[in-house]
């Protein structure tokens, strides 16, 4: 059933994009923009060689409304075989390349994609010119223009389709561990995309009416370069697709036929390639910064990063006269977990406890792993009573964590300290929390102790939201 559904989707997408590409026909069998080839490549890359026959059917049916396949001559048949061969090979080869993956997030994936599509489209364009020369007898002066039109049209079309697919996959398979522009809501990115589209509209209307694309068309690259440099590949691809789609729409709706087709094709291809490369470059830098500041197992701040961010939060609390609580968390008898059930079970427990810490924290709080089984939380603007309530809630959540493949639970002891004196440093708070943690362990473990709050007399307040 899955095969049938995917096959139907392949045929539908190919047919729809073939008809779209026909709007940009600049010569017999030559389109200025051909995203349908990207459909063949993607399905065979993602789902395997079983979809090559379906690709052949898609090619035959895609042109049928205007050019029925039962009326094809030698040129149409060989051109269809050429297309199926090159883009099937591209998909099958990239299936074997472990460094390449979708969605596009890493520089090596972008480099492999652009390089392989670049080479494939050149070979496909050369073959197309040879076939057209054989069947149509091209004028020598037309060969270069037809070659470039084929090449750039396929290159821009494939890159645009894969950019759209990458964004679609990224919606379901978000890789980023850090926040980007979309994590704070849709309003800001949507407004920026509308602004980019408006600027593209203005440029294309003005230059299109005056046939000045060669002098000013490159300006459509600027908003995409800005988006890629500041917001990464996700927003950069949105911006590039937005610019290209806006430009294509105005080309069709306003009849701006004064644009040189090859220049328009080149702009689209460069626009997408630049978005991918600049965006992936920023992603690499973000990833390197994230890895340098975070524990690879739990994705919490490592000791060095916790001290840097914790010190900054402490100074802000002092300046703004806000309260601050520090929570030291230590898993009880964690060595026993590693010794009896193995380090893999221990790692699983640590990841689950880290998730518990994230659940009780707000976005202004700071979480870190500063030792093997030691975690620390800085609770911004939390009273001693609120911090103790958070600690109790965390302790009860950890109590429910199961050791993998067992019915055994773990527990934790928690010590809390609070910013009381303006002179207190982060080291002072850590030492006080460590002393409270020692008292919690002395009291039998699996409990919380505070340097300020007496749990016997405490009426627990609601935890801060």
Q: What is the pLDDT of residue 175?
A: 55
Mean pLDDT of 78-86: 94
Specify which of 24-38, 167-181, 298-312, 440-454 reaches the highest per-range mean pLDDT: 298-312
- Give the residue-averaged pLDDT of 13-19: 90
CA gap 188, 394 in Å, rounded? 34
Which of 453 and 426 is assigned the larger pLDDT?
Answer: 426
pLDDT at position 330 over 70: yes
pLDDT tens profile 393-431: 999 999 999 888 888 889 999 999 999 888 889 999 999
| pLDDT at site 465 | 37
Measured CA to CA, the distance from residue 381 to residue 464 in angstroms comes to: 9
In angstroms, the first-to-last Cα distance of the chain is: 47
Give the pLDDT of residue 115: 94
The region of weakest confidence among 51-60, 158-167, 168-177 is 168-177
In sequence order, the 6+-apart residues with CB closer than 8 A to the CB of 232 are: 176, 180, 181, 279, 282, 283, 286
Backbone CA torsion sign across 454, 450, 460, 410: negative
> Considering the entire predicted model, what is its pTM?
0.73
- Which own/partner pairs from 90-94 qualify as long-range (CB within 8 Å, at least 24 positions apart)? 90/41, 90/45, 90/116, 90/117, 90/120, 91/40, 91/41, 91/42, 91/43, 91/44, 91/45, 91/46, 92/44, 92/45, 92/49, 94/45
pLDDT of residue 192: 85
Domains of the chain, each with CATH number or no CATH: 1-175 (1.10.1760.20), 176-293 (no CATH), 303-450 (3.30.70.270)
Residue 331 pLDDT: 94
> How confident is the model at residue 464, as a pLDDT?
42
- What is the rounded CA–CA span in Å between residue 384 and residue 460? 10
């Amino acid at each position: 059933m899955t095969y049938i559904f995917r096959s139907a989707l392949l045929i539908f997408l190919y047919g729809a994009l073939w008809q779209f590409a026909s709007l940009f026909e600049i010569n017999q069998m030559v389109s200025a923009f051909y995203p349908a080839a990207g459909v063949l490549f993607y399905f065979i890359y993602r789902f395997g060689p079983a979809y090559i026959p379906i690709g052949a059917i898609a090619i035959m049916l895609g042109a049928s409304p205007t050019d029925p396949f039962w009326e094809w001559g030698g040129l149409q048949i060989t051109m269809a075989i050429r297309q199926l061969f090159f883009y099937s090979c591209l998909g099958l080869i990239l299936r074997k390349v472990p460094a390449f993956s979708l969605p596009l997030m890493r520089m090596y994936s972008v480099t492999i994609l652009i390089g392989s599509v670049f080479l494939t489209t050149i070979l496909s364009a050369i073959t197309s010119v040879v076939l057209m020369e054989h069947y149509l007898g091209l004028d020598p002066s037309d060969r270069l223009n037809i070659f470039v039109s084929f090449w750039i049209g396929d290159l821009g079309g494939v890159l645009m389709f894969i950019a759209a697919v990458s964004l679609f996959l990224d919606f379901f398979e978000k890789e980023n561990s850090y926040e980007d522009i979309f994590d704070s809501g849709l309003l800001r990115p949507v407004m920026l995309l509308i602004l980019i589209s408006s600027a593209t509209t203005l440029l294309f209307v003005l230059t299109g009416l005056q046939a000045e694309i060669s002098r000013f068309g490159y300006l459509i690259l600027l908003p995409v370069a800005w988006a890629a440099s500041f917001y990464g590949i996700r927003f950069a691809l949105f911006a590039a697709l937005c610019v290209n789609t806006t430009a294509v729409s105005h080309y069709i709706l306003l009849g701006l036929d004064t644009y040189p087709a090859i220049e328009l094709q080149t702009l689209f291809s460069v626009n997408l390639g630049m978005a991918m490369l600049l965006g992936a470059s920023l992603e690499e830098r973000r990833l390197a910064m994230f890895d340098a500041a975070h524990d690879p197992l739990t994705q919490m701040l490592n000791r060095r990063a916790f001290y840097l961010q914790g010190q900054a939060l402490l100074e802000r609390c002092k300046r703004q006269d806000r309260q601050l609580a520090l929570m030291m968390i230590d898993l009880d008898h964690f060595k026993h977990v590693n010794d009896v059930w193995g380090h893999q079970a221990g790692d699983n427990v640590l990841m689950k406890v880290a998730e518990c810490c994230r659940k009780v924290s707000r976005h202004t709080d700071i979480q870190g792993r500063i030792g093997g089984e030691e975690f620390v939380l800085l609770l911004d603007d939390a009273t001693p009573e609120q911090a103790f309530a958070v600690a109790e809630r965390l302790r009860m959540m950890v109590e429910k964590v199961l050791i993998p493949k067992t019915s055994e639970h773990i527990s934790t002891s928690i010590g809390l300290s609070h910013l009381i004196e303006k002179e207190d440093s982060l080291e002072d708070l850590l030492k006080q929390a460590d002393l409270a943690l020692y008292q919690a362990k002395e009291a039998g473990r699996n409990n919380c102790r505070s340097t300020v709050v007496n749990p016997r007399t405490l009426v627990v307040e609601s935890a801060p939201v």
